[in-house]
């Protein structure tokens, strides 16, 4: 991989040093971070980020769900182009997921705001955002901050969500005391850059991903109802073991992905709760998330039907009853073609290899694109590893992303300024 020349774009200056400083907050021995939403480490990195915004000439404000905005105002009252992602993480996660995009956003907007020869877009303001609780590991649902911001989740519902210890989001926000809380200005367009968390870019040798759609998904909450009993003395034939029923479902759901072409279906179980989860006691109830994703709606529908078969077979073999509730669903969900085109032009003009890609994971931009013109960019993830301390995006790729993001934001702002959106 070629060495990136940071003299090409001022927005990349100091970026790697800033990224290293940011990654120290919640750093784990394995080279990752653990910065779940509203925890002391999340609060510390946000405080550091406020200092960075202010140091670069911006001002910091929050909204009622804890989204952190860094505003670079050039023309009071003018609409904003917003750029950002999230700095919260999963437990023992990688240091790139989300955080890279927030810092890239700050470098992009602060560089553009500081230009001594303002472009045609000087009538548009610029802001960076660090969305609250994108990961959803401490407080469900995920993408909480951007969902409340865009109105797909009620503020009151989000504030009432609790973590495992029973702490509500409202309590966590009160403890964090993120102020000032100020109504957010009008946003005219949004851009986000993120690590791919997949291996398409790496496998195809492309540096910049132009995200054109999100895979379709079906998400279920599955509850297996059995009967509590003694693991020693309850005869096998008398058992209604919820954990056995759950195991049959987990195994079968995984194996069904072998029945379709490789790469066309992701099926997973996560966040499993076993009751009473005591030694020498047969589980009476198991709840778990079941997550199906595919770019192909036909495959998704097939998978949903197969899950029904899998569940029925588990009920019969384990003598349990299974409830499954569809909690989220969407079909292949496109990003605006104008944004893909705009970002493709930037990558081409700057000389970076690029290609259109799908995102399997949801992002805050999934919410934003329903409201305003939106661009979503990817940079490569080594081996596609994510939600893992070993997550890695190479320095050159990070810097290329910052440069492409900066120019993308410039053109978005010009487009807004000229009424092009």
Q: Binders of a copy of itself among 11-70, rule CB under 8 A?
A: none
**According to the annotation, is 86 in a ligand binding site?**
yes
**According to the annotation, is 304 in a ligand binding site?**
no
Of 94, 90, 73, 91, which is closest to residue 82 (Cα–Cα)? 73
Binding positions for a copy of itself, 93-112, rule CB under 8 A = 93
Minimum CB distance to a copy of itself smaller for 120 or for 230: 230
* 69 in Cβ contact with 132 (< 8 Å): no
82 token code pair? 């917003």
Minimum CB distance to a copy of itself smaller for 2 or for 270: 270
**Closest approach of Cβ 54 to a copy of itself, in Å?**
33
Three-class DSSP category at 163: coil
The string of DSSP letters for 9-66 reads -GGGTTHHHHHHHHTTTTB-TTS-B---TTSHHHHHHHHHHHHHHHHTT-EEEE-TT-
The string of DSSP letters for 257-307 reads GGGS-TTS-EEEEEEEEEES--TTEE-SEEEEEEEEEES-HHHHHHHHHHH
Is 383 a binding residue for a copy of itself by CB under 8 A? The answer is yes
List CB contacts of 230: < 8 A, sequence separation 6 or more.
280, 281, 282
Minimum CB distance to a copy of itself smaller for 250 or for 346: 250
Among the listed ranges 3-11, 251-259, 333-341, 396-404, the one in contact with a copy of itself (CB under 8 A) is 251-259
Of 409, 389, 413, which is closest to residue 401 (Cα–Cα)? 409
**Closest approach of Cβ 154 to a copy of itself, in Å?**
20
**Closest approach of Cβ 337 to a copy of itself, in Å?**
23
Minimum CB distance to a copy of itself smaller for 21 or for 92: 92
Would you give the binding string for a copy of itself spanning residues 145-184, x where CB under 8 A is met? ----------------------------------------
Query: Which one among 77, 156, 183, 262 touches a copy of itself, defined by CB under 8 A?
Result: 262
Minimum CB distance to a copy of itself smaller for 10 or for 295: 295
Is the four-CA dihedral 404, 414, 46, 165 of positive or negative sign? negative
Minimum CB distance to a copy of itself smaller for 199 or for 371: 199
* 62 in Cβ contact with 179 (< 8 Å): yes
> How far is the C-alpha of 341 from the C-alpha of 365, rounded, in Å?
17
HEC string of 134-146?
Answer: CCCCCCCCCCHHH
* 181 in Cβ contact with 63 (< 8 Å): yes
Q: 304-312: long-range contacts at Cβ-Cβ below 8 A with a sequence spacing of 24 or more?
A: 304/218, 306/256, 306/259, 307/220, 307/253, 307/256, 310/248, 310/249, 310/252, 310/253, 310/256, 311/222, 311/249
**Closest approach of Cβ 237 to a copy of itself, in Å?**
6
Is 320 a binding residue for a copy of itself by CB under 8 A? The answer is no
Binding positions for a copy of itself, 209-248, rule CB under 8 A = 215, 217, 227-238, 241, 243-244, 246-248
**According to the annotation, is 354 in a ligand binding site?**
no
> How far is the C-alpha of 24 from the C-alpha of 3, rounded, in Å?
25
**According to the annotation, is 309 in a ligand binding site?**
no
Is 265 a binding residue for a copy of itself by CB under 8 A? The answer is yes
> How far is the C-alpha of 163 from the C-alpha of 35, rounded, in Å?
14
Report the b/e string of 176-193 with b at 16+ CB within 10 A. Answer: bebeeeeebbebbbbbbb
Binding positions for a copy of itself, 269-308, rule CB under 8 A = 269-284, 289, 291, 293
Is 331 a binding residue for a copy of itself by CB under 8 A? The answer is no
**Closest approach of Cβ 356 to a copy of itself, in Å?**
16
Minimum CB distance to a copy of itself smaller for 304 or for 414: 304
**Closest approach of Cβ 359 to a copy of itself, in Å?**
8
Number of chain positions touching a copy of itself (CB under 8 A) = 74
Minimum CB distance to a copy of itself smaller for 310 or for 405: 310
**According to the annotation, is 225 in a ligand binding site?**
no
- Residue owning tokens 């045609």: 120
Would you give the binding string for a copy of itself spanning residues 189-208, x where CB under 8 A is met? -------xxxx---------
**Closest approach of Cβ 204 to a copy of itself, in Å?**
14
Query: What are the strands, taking DSSP E only, across 153-255?
Result: 187-195, 208-214, 216-225, 229-230
Minimum CB distance to a copy of itself smaller for 238 or for 370: 238
Would you give the binding string for a copy of itself spanning residues 347-366, x where CB under 8 A is met? ------------xxxx----
Binding positions for a copy of itself, 111-140, rule CB under 8 A = 135-137, 140
Residue ranges for the known binding site for Zn(2+) are 86, 97, 135, 194, 387
């Amino acid at each position: 991989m070629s060495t990136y020349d940071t003299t090409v774009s001022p927005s990349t200056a100091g970026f790697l040093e800033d990224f290293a400083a940011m990654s120290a907050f919640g750093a784990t021995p394995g080279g990752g971070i653990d910065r779940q939403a509203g925890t002391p480490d999340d609060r510390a990195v946000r405080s550091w980020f406020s200092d960075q915004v202010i140091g670069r000439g911006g001002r910091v404000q929050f909204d009622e769900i804890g989204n952190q905005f860094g505003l670079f105002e050039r023309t009071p009252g003018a609409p904003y182009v917003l750029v950002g992602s999230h700095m919260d993480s999963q437990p023992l996660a990688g240091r790139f997921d989300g955080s890279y995009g927030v810092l890239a956003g700050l470098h992009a907007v602060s560089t553009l705001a500081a230009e001594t020869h303002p472009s045609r877009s000087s009538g548009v303001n610029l802001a960076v955002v660090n969305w609250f609780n994108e990961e959803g590991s401490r407080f469900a649902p995920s993408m909480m901050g951007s969902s409340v911001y865009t109105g797909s989740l009620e503020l009151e519902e989000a504030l009432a969500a609790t973590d495992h210890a029973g702490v509500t989001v409202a309590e966590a926000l009160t403890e964090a005391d993120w102020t000032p809380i100020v109504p957010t200005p009008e946003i005219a367009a949004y851009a986000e850059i993120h690590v791919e968390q997949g291996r398409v870019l790496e496998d195809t040798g492309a540096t910049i991903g132009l995200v054109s759609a999100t895979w379709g998904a079906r998400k279920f909450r599955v509850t297996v109802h059995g009967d509590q009993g003694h693991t020693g003395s309850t005869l096998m034939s008398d058992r209604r073991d919820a954990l056995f029923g759950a195991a049959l479902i987990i195994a079968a759901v995984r194996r069904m992905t072998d029945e379709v072409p490789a790469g066309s279906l992701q099926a997973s179980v996560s966040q499993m709760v076993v009751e009473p989860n005591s030694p020498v006691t047969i589980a009476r109830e198991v709840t778990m998330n079941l997550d199906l994703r595919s770019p192909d709606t036909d495959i998704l529908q097939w998978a949903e039907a197969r899950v029904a078969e899998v569940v029925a077979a588990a009920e019969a073999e384990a003598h349990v009853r299974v409830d499954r509730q569809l909690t989220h669903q969407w079909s292949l969900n496109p990003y605006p073609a104008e944004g893909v085109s705009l970002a493709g032009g930037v990558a081409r003009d700057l000389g970076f290899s690029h290609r259109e890609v799908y995102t399997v994971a949801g992002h805050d931009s999934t919410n934003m694109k329903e409201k305003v013109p939106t661009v979503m960019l990817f940079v490569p993830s080594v081996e596609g590893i994510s939600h893992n301390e070993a997550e890695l995006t190479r320095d050159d790729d990070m810097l290329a992303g910052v440069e492409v993001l900066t120019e993308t934001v410039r053109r978005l702002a010009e487009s807004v300024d000229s009424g092009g959106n």
